[in-house]
Chains A and B, each alone.
Chain A
Amino acid sequence: MMDESTMTDETPGYLSRKVVVSSENGLHARPAGRLAQEAQTFDSEISLVVDDQAVDAKSILDILTLAAGPGHMVELRARGADAEAALDRLEALFLNKFEGA
């Protein structure tokens, strides 16, 4: 369900990738916490976009307020030196349903 990583040159320099929430309960406390925790390890600005609502991926509260349920499409956006790595990492989290490494 993953789009290829694409550099969007026309918008001011962020990388974007689309993922689908496949964890059973959507982005609830545990996955949201995990996501924010991982995002915080990167220097890049990272945001999650669902239905035009963009929030800070480093904030568990922001992620929770997205209330993204199972099946929701989420766009990951990252801008900064380690943007590519950040997207790889977060995409992997979505793929593993926030379990394991």
Chain B
Amino acid sequence: MADSTLTGIPVATGIAIGKAFFVNRNHMANLPRQIVAAEDMPAEIERLHAAFKSVETELAAIREQVPEELKSHGSLIDTHLMMLKDPKLSGSAEKYIETLGLNAAWALEKAVSDQEAAFEAIKDQYIRERMQDVRVVAEKVQTKLMGVKTDLASISGRAIIMAHDLTPADTVELQVDKIMAFATVRGGKTSHTGIMARSLGIPALVGVGRLEEVHDGDLVVIDGLTGKIVVNPTETELAEYNERAALFEDYTRKIRRHCHLPAETFDGSRVMVQANIELVEEVTAVLDNGGEGVGLYRTEYAYLNRTTLPTEDELAEKYIDLAAIMSPRKVVFRTLDLGSDKFISTFGELNETNPAMGLRAIRFCLKYPQLFKTQLRAILRASAYGNVSLMFPMISGVKEVRQAKAWLAQAKAELRREGVDYDPDMPLGTMIELPAAVMIAEFLAHEVDFFSIGTNDLIQYSIGVDRTNRHVSYLYQPLHPATLRAIKLVVDAAHQAGIEVSLCGEVASDPFCVPILLGMGIDSISMTPQAIPGIKRIIRQTNMHDCRLLLKDVLECRTVSRINNLVMDNIFKHFPEEVTFFSSLLENDELPS
């Protein structure tokens, strides 16, 4: 048996086998705490300063290597450098060595705690959060003092990076060609780690429990397909995983060869297969994987991790790039989908007790129309350069759509007056992710040109379950009869009104769920770029007739488990390879104990 098997949430697929390299966040629990004899104090102080100096030299060297396009990361390193040089931090640590006789690492810990106390009193959230940077630099010095080799920039050989959490600051220092995979304790599907891993094409797991049990140098298997980490596998296990990794590579190569063919079933039905992205840089992945367009461009990224709002020109520049590169393929822009749970300090103290139901997405935009209009103008400007559509998230009623449309009309009128080009016929859609929107889909269909069903939120709001809550996450069931009926209702309402409907939740990239979506008559599905080849393969190897029959049976089922069994049987029968390689949302069978 392997030493242990851990589980996490796969955020980038693939299998990697290699040595673990722990980015030393949590080892701080083992910080040495010793009293230094009076005669050893000068030496200890010298050790402290040498450690500061050595981290400073390393950071400065990394600073030199930061490429132009990561300039904002560069300034973060500048801040870290200033904190290292700050007489306050090293000075106060020195004082603790002198007066209390603490060892250097411990003395620095106390100096950091003092700073923490000073920062906690600060009202400005942004400044208060800079305390994290103080932590980061102090930990660098402490690890240096502890003699643990953790410098991200100096990994010898290729390694699997493990960490409590990886910040953008950490990833600046990583030498990407040396990384085989990531595993972190914190983070979700859309965290920085996932984006980074997907763009590097390496497997990654987040939300891994007990990760601290892994030691530097342990041989680990990261299975980004099932979400497993096998620590120090046996010979037999290792052989199995090696074979599995080779098989997966073959399979990936095979499906990628056909990924540029249209997604057409045996009996001639076409479905658009598009990609969900949040960075313009991901366009390469979309095109390489055979994406026929961008079905969902998440626009939040440009607003996060900063203290000022992006300007219209700044946004327009990005949007125009995206529209132009993808042209003539479609790009669907989703307007800002942010809430008070994740937003910049510009908007002050928007603390809500229940952010999922609070001032989010379109509600937020309608409350701050100036911010909304800036974004609408930028998107309109991009529409002159490509095949651009626009959609509003979290719509709950007809009036909301009309209000949003009024701002869009105003933005158009302004641009017209200013003589700025835009596409006057830019298609407009709403996302359907609230049960309310499902119920009135028939009315909403008259207001817009298309629907896009966001299943992640729709499932959570329909079943009333927060899937990150481990007590109830077992209830998050994509193929719950209620969810299926909701999707069916929306598709039918759209087609009745003669508009198109797409689907952009995770369900769209789950090979097990796709045949059902086809059976419903969905016009387009949108997913992470990496999932496209696999899904296209499913579509190209099935026929609509079978999908309709499957759907008919499924819609008659009264329980989720019955539906899941039917769907699994179908996949087992027709797509054995997918069963081998992919974990499905349907395998969510943990029951409450």
Contact = CB atoms under 8 A, between A and B. Distances in A.
Interface in A44-61: 56, 58-61
Interface string A39-78: 0100000000000000010111110110101000000000
Interface residues of A, number: 21
A76 B308 CA distance: 27
A37 B81 CA distance: 10
B122 interface: yes
A83 interface: no
A60 B307 contact: no
Interface string B391-433: 0000000000000000000000000000000000000000000
Nearest to B121: A65
Contacts of B127: 28-29, 64-65, 67
B86 A60 contact: yes
Contacts of B85: 36, 40
Interface string B118-156: 110011101100100110000000000000000000000
A66 to B, nearest CB: 9
Nearest to A65: B118
B351 to A, nearest CB: 19
B78, B82, B307: which has the most chain A beta carbons within 10 Å?
B82
B75 interface: yes
B83 interface: yes
A24 B307 CA distance: 9
B552 interface: no
B570 interface: no
Nearest to A29: B79
Given A28-B126, A67-B124, A37 B87 contact: no
Contacts of B122: 64-65, 67
B87 A29 contact: no
Given A28-B307, A30-B75, A65-B118, A60 B124 contact: no
B5 interface: no
Contact of B124 (A26, A40, A56, A58): A26
B89 interface: yes
Contacts of B124: 26, 67, 69
Contacts of A58: 86-87
A25 interface: yes
A56 B89 CA distance: 12
Contact of A59 (B75, B79, B88, B130): B88
A60 B88 CA distance: 9
A37 B308 CA distance: 23
B583 interface: no
B171 interface: no
B119 A59 contact: no
B126 A61 contact: no
Given A29-B133, A65-B118, A67-B127, A60 B308 contact: no
A24 B345 CA distance: 13
B115 interface: yes
Nearest to B134: A61
Interface string B53-88: 000000000000000000000010011001101111
Interface string B258-299: 000000000000000000000000000000000000000000
16 contacts: A24-B308, A25-B126, A28-B127, A32-B82, A33-B82, A36-B85, A37-B82, A56-B88, A58-B87, A59-B86, A60-B79, A60-B82, A60-B86, A61-B89, A61-B115, A62-B88
